[in-house]
Amino acid sequence: MKFLAVVTTLFLAVFSVDALYHTNSKCLVPVNNCVSFSVSSGTGCAWMCNYCAQQLGTNNYYFQDGVCTYDPNQGTCVGSPLTGVTYTCCAA
């Protein structure tokens, strides 16, 4: 009986953490060499470009809507992302 109680407690703990993670996560599952996500206030294109490069495993990617682009003169990604919009970047 004690074993069943421990297993039940572990089961509930795992699913509680899993539900919390998915509730707070802003990332969506990568599909067809693309990853979609939204950003909160204060997040800029530098973070977005770094995130895409890490998730896609390449520096050769693009944003489907062109929200961020690499500016070689500034040496970083530039653009104006909006809070709550879902953005998608894809490996080129």
Give pTM, 2 decimals: 0.67
Q: What angle do CA 60, 53, 66 make, to 5 degrees?
A: 65
- Mean pLDDT value of segment 59-76: 96
Q: Is 85 in a helix, a strand, or coil? A: coil
* pLDDT over threshold 90, residue 11: no
Q: List 69's β-bridge partners, or say none.
A: 78
DSSP 29-75: --BTTEEEEE--TT--HHHHHHHHHHHHT-S-EEETT--EEEETTTT
85: confidence class by pLDDT, cuts 50, 70, 90 = very high
The DSSP 8-state label assigned to residue 20 in this structure reads H
